[in-house]
């Protein structure tokens, strides 16, 4: 009798909250749909992609890598495909950037859409990843992620 080794499975470094299957993007967008009260998953997916693409321009450095690793594969791809800005926008301008990418968006609906997606992400991210991301963004982003502002001094923002 010949013994054969069991086939090796590729593992990914996704948080325990996300199943490491093809449904991870579906899980994320379904959670956004439920949290935001969107009628369809397609609407939630469009809004999620939009918010992630704007976020991808504002998170840089090691925290960008950690964030991408903690997200479902499709979400990480959307985030990482963006060219980082030299400096992150203040939180209100971030919401305006989201509004400019969504058809028929108002400041109120853009705030709702942004807060919905980022709060769902915050609930699914490992706390150290979320803290690191928020530490590197300007004041006001924690509220968009559904969290109280972090206390204490902030680290200087990278500029190049």
Other CB atoms within 10 A of residue 22 CB: 10
Q: Return the beta strands (E) in the chain as ranges.
A: none
Residue-wise pLDDT for 17-58, tens only, equals 444 433 489 999 999 999 999 999 999 999 999 999 999 999
Residues contacting residue 79 through CB under 8 Å, at least 6 positions apart: 52, 53, 55, 56, 59, 64, 67, 68, 71
pTM higher than 0.85? no
**Predicted confidence band of residue 149 (pLDDT cuts 50, 70, 90):** confident
Residue-wise pLDDT for 105-137, tens only, equals 999 999 999 999 999 999 999 999 999 999 999
């Amino acid at each position: 009798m010949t013994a054969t080794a069991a086939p090796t499975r590729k593992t990914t470094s996704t948080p325990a909250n996300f199943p490491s299957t093809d449904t991870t993007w579906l899980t994320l967008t379904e959670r956004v749909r439920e949290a935001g009260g969107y009628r369809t998953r397609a609407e939630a997916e469009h809004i999620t992609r939009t918010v992630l693409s704007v976020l991808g321009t504002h998170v840089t450095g090691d925290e960008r890598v950690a964030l991408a690793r903690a997200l479902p594969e499709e979400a990480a791809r959307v985030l990482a495909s963006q060219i980082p800005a030299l400096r992150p926008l203040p939180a209100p301008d971030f919401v305006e950037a989201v509004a400019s990418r969504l058809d028929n968006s108002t400041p109120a609906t853009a705030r709702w859409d942004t807060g919905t997606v980022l709060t769902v992400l915050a609930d699914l991210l490992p706390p150290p990843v979320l803290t690191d991301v928020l530490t590197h963004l300007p004041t006001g982003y924690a509220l968009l992620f559904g969290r109280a502002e972090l206390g204490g001094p902030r680290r200087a923002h990278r500029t190049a």
